[in-house]
């Protein structure tokens, strides 16, 4: 079985990480090739290490494909002769449809939608266009995979067909993301922190949908009550070189209570070391990887009610409305003030992922889909 995966890029993102995890899990049961519309990204080395064939088209971010790009995309599809074409995200989905139109043999088209759809005004102009185009083409794929129930309902309400919808949540590697008592020592040694002080972790690229501002206001409110807490922010462009971000730190006097680490490759250790992980997304979230990864590490989470975040956390964490820093801070303070409660939530969070969201379960769901079972 030959599967061609079409994705926009290989930067650090939830869809990209899920694709890599899936390819690693099914590499002995399907021959997979990845077509990347852009150039190499931060996850390209991980993809290469799997031994998966990867072709890069080299399009610039937000660019319209040239005729040369289109001919190369068609050529790659014809040469590989896939049995299945799996698109990832709107750009990849439309490109997967385009490839199928130029293949002479029978091929099954699948789409993969990775975000919720709250308000089109929040999206970039090209993304809005692609969402509209996708709606008109959405009867073409045999199955449209959504990574969240909320996303499935929202897209169906926007005109995507219900008959082809299938929800497969993200899966988590329980052997990589697991409780680690030594992680706290290594983190505090690196950052020169007292191991007894509370640590709150926020992992997200710098983007309006992630709502760093509300998170930072919540941090300021928390520090006013619990001044010893350290808030650690991780993600692309989350550094002191980001002038917009540092201006918010200055506005709320957060320089001492907040540490900006930028992108990190040791997320499992950071998550295991933290007392809490917070997801402050305002919109767009489908099924957040970072929340499931933290839960796998036995770290309780406080999340905003966006996408399937509340469903993922269940009764193993706390859920607040989006764009509400006061509510966010209140839940952070409650959990930081009760170590026994945190420990109980962390144990149950790990058990919840083991029971419903393991990578083994999710990769099997994809493999069954590719094999035509239960569709």
pLDDT band at 140 (very low <50, low <70, confident <90, very high): very high
Question: How far is it, in rounded angstroms, from Cα 83 to Cα 92?
Answer: 17
Q: What are 200-212's pLDDT values in tens digits?
A: 999 999 999 999 9
What pLDDT was estimated at residue 118? 85
Q: What are 311-326's pLDDT values in tens digits?
A: 999 999 999 999 999 9
- Residue 358: name the closest of 170, 219, 205, 230 by CA: 170
- Residue 274: name the closest of 212, 170, 188 by CA: 188
Beta strands in the chain (DSSP E): 2-7, 31-36, 53-56, 84-88, 108-113, 143-146, 165-167, 199-203, 230-234, 258-262, 276-279, 301-304, 318-320
Domains and CATH numbers, the chain: 2-171+358-370 (3.40.50.2000), 183-356 (3.40.50.2000)
Question: How far is it, in rounded angstroms, from Cα 18 to Cα 24?
Answer: 10
Q: What are 82-109's pLDDT values in tens digits?
A: 999 999 999 999 999 999 999 989 999 9
Q: What are 116-133's pLDDT values in tens digits?
A: 888 888 788 888 899 999
pTM of the model: 0.91
Region 233-246: mean pLDDT is 96
* Token pair in block for residue 21: 């995890």
Cβ neighbours of residue 38 closer than 8 Å, sequence gap 6 or more: 8, 9, 10, 56, 57, 58, 59, 60, 61
Contact call for residues 370 and 1 (beta carbons, < 8 A): yes
């Amino acid at each position: 079985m030959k599967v061609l995966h079409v994705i926009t890029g290989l930067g650090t993102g939830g869809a990209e990480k899920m694709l890599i995890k899936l390819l690693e899990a099914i590499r002995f049961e399907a021959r997979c090739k990845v077509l990347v519309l852009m150039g190499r990204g931060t996850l390209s080395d991980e993809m290469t290490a799997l031994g998966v064939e990867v072709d890069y088209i080299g399009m610039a971010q937000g660019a319209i494909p040239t005729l040369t790009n289109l001919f190369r995309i068609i050529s790659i599809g014809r040469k590989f002769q896939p049995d299945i074409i799996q698109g990832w995200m709107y750009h990849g989905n439309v490109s997967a449809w385009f490839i199928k139109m130029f293949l002479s043999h029978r091929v099954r088209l699948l789409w993969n939608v990775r975000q919720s759809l709250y308000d089109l005004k929040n999206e970039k102009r090209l993304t809005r266009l692609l969402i509209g185009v996708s709606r008109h083409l959405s009867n073409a794929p045999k199955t449209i995979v959504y990574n969240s129930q909320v996303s499935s309902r929202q897209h169906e309400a926007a005109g995507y067909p219900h008959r082809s919808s299938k929800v497969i949540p993200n899966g988590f590697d329980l052997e990589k993301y697991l409780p680690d008592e030594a992680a706290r020592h290594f983190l505090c040694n690196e950052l020169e922190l007292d191991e007894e002080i509370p640590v709150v972790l926020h992992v997200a690229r710098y983007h309006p949908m992630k709502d760093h501002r509300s998170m930072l206001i919540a941090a300021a409110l928390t520090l006013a009550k619990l001044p010893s807490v350290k808030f650690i922010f991780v993600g692309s462009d989350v550094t002191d070189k980001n002038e917009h971000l540092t201006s918010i730190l200055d506005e709320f006097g957060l320089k001492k209570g907040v540490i900006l680490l930028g992108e990190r490759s040791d997320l499992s250790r950071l998550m295991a070391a933290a007392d809490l992980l917070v997801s402050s997304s305002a919109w767009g979230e489908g099924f957040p990887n970072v929340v499931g990864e933290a839960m796998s590490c036995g770290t309780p989470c406080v999340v905003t009610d966006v996408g399937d975040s509340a469903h993922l956390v269940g009764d193993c964490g706390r859920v607040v409305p989006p764009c509400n820093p006061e509510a966010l801070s209140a839940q952070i303070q409650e959990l930081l003030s009760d170590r026994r409660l945190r420990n109980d939530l962390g144990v149950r969070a790990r058990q919840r992922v083991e029971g419903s969201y393991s990578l083994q379960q999710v990769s099997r769901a994809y493999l069954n889909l590719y094999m035509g079972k239960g569709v």
